[in-house]
Amino acid sequence: MKSADIAKIVNVAIQATRLDDENPAIIAWDDLSEETRGRYETGVNFHLANPEATAADGHKNWLERTVGVPDKTREEFDSLSAKEKMERVLFLSIVKECSKVQPEIKVVKIAAPAPQLVQAAKLPVKYVGHRARYRDGIYGTGIIWKQGEVILVDEPSARKMLKHADVWILAAQEEQAKEAPEKPKEKEDETEESVQAAKDSVARMGKAAMLQYAETNFAGVKINQNIGIEKLREKVYGLIDRFGVAK
């Protein structure tokens, strides 16, 4: 198999290991820069010419060929992360296997594999706050808990919630969790209306007024008076969600 064809296969394999939210699809060979394609082919040619070379040797050769090129992986092989080392080993393994293929066999087209959709993980979160009924208004889930209730929450939101152990905790495996209900479409009860009204009032306040509001309604809660007005407003919103509205 020709080195150019091997380089195309290596490119697809390496890119496939890097698929994530920021890189959801593999870039076609022809869409890569000429410099990038050249690097792959030169790396392939090195291993074809040096069949006894290791993955570490291949990385060393790459370092020597790219002097002056900024790259986060320009450390020595032993200093690379496990994932980066795996890519170097994968590169070498593909070259070795493809070198066994008869030269007349030609790669016509390599289809980029479609990224697999992974279902978001959920964690069982238990509400342990002091209110009998609580609606999340900080993290945007809109979930309504009853005191002591366990609900499955998407992991990113759950991780943020669990930082406030006085309000939420990770439920034990034996506790039965239920799926989070859809956000209510009907008009909320009077308690939630009063919470929203309080937030609307805070939204119109200046910094001095917000500090006075927090001191009056949440005695004992320390607030840094030097924080910016938007961070202060977010802090007061959170206090309203956690402790409710004073009667």
Tell me the per-residue pLDDT of 53-83, one tens digit each, with 9 for 90 and over. 998 998 898 888 877 666 655 678 888 888 8
Residue with tokens 């020709």: 2
User: What's residue 190's pLDDT?
Assistant: 47
Task: Quote the pTM value.
Answer: 0.40
User: What's residue 50's pLDDT?
Assistant: 92
- Compute the mean pLDDT over every residue in the chain, rounded to the nearest whole number: 80
Tell me the per-residue pLDDT of 110-156, one tens digit each, with 9 for 90 and over. 665 665 555 568 888 898 888 788 888 777 788 888 888 999 988 88
pLDDT band at 165 (very low <50, low <70, confident <90, very high): confident
DSSP for 170-227, please give it.
EPPTTS--EEPPPPP-SPP-HHHHHHHHHHHHHHT--HHHHHHHHHHHSTT----TTS
Considering only residues 162 and 71, tell me which one the structure prediction assigns the higher pLDDT.
162
Residues 64 and 43 sit within 8 Å (Cβ to Cβ): no
Tell me the per-residue pLDDT of 45-57, one tens digit each, with 9 for 90 and over. 999 999 899 989 9
